Structure 1
Amino acid sequence: MPVSSTSPVILENSDGSFYASIGASGGLRIFPSVVQVLLNLGWGLHPSEAIEFGRVFHQLYPTKLEVDETYPSDALDYLRQAGHNISFVDINRVEGVGVVQVVRQKDGIFYAASDSRKNGIALGY
């Protein structure tokens, strides 16, 4: 088990200019939460949408896939058919998921988003 799971991320555009900064709290759930939000940003979601999208967490042992209540049902059906043992995490319990914050720049405008799972307020400058 790592001593620290912090994983602040700063992303640049191909020209070296600032693209986004992402960080999270949540212990072992930090890494998968940050990666899932990064993927959501890569798929073109706005930072708020990327953060609020449902999350999954698997620690390898015990063999269960923890999913928050907002995860798309069609994806859950696919995971069940693939043999995953799914348990639901209460998104109102902040220790159940990694809580992510994002600041992103697009066309000279900064967009900030903070995970509603922890009642955060987004500010960026």
Structure 2
Amino acid sequence: MHTRADDRSLGELFGDLVRDMGILVRQEVNLASTELTYKASRVGRELALLAVGGLVAYAGLLAIVAAVIIVLAAAGLPWWLAALIVGVIVAAVGAVVVQRGLAALKRVDLAPRQTIQT
């Protein structure tokens, strides 16, 4: 492909340098794209898992909430007060669950570390 290094002109050397730099830039872009695609799919799986778990828990929670309100009302509390007490407790638990989910997402490192190192 190349002749001996001493036989190449300055123009040929410069052309090789430009070509090699272009190859390097393309390889770095491909590496960054691959790394970011992997990390994005990982975040997507975790978000899907979080959403499915939330929906299933929500269905169960609705049944439990209704039962607790009925029990409190049967114990002598007015219906509106029973619903208010249960609603406040459920909202507090929901806030804790959301905070945990956000904390788990923040632990995912989205920076293309391998690309940055090269």
Higher percent of residues as strand: 1
Q: Which has the larger radius of gyration?
A: 2
Task: Give the TM-score range, shorter chain.
Answer: under 0.3
Higher percent of residues as helix: 2
More contact order relative to length (CA 8 Å, sep ≥ 6): 2
Name the TM-score, length of structure 2 as normaliser.
0.23
Name the TM-score, length of structure 1 as normaliser.
0.22
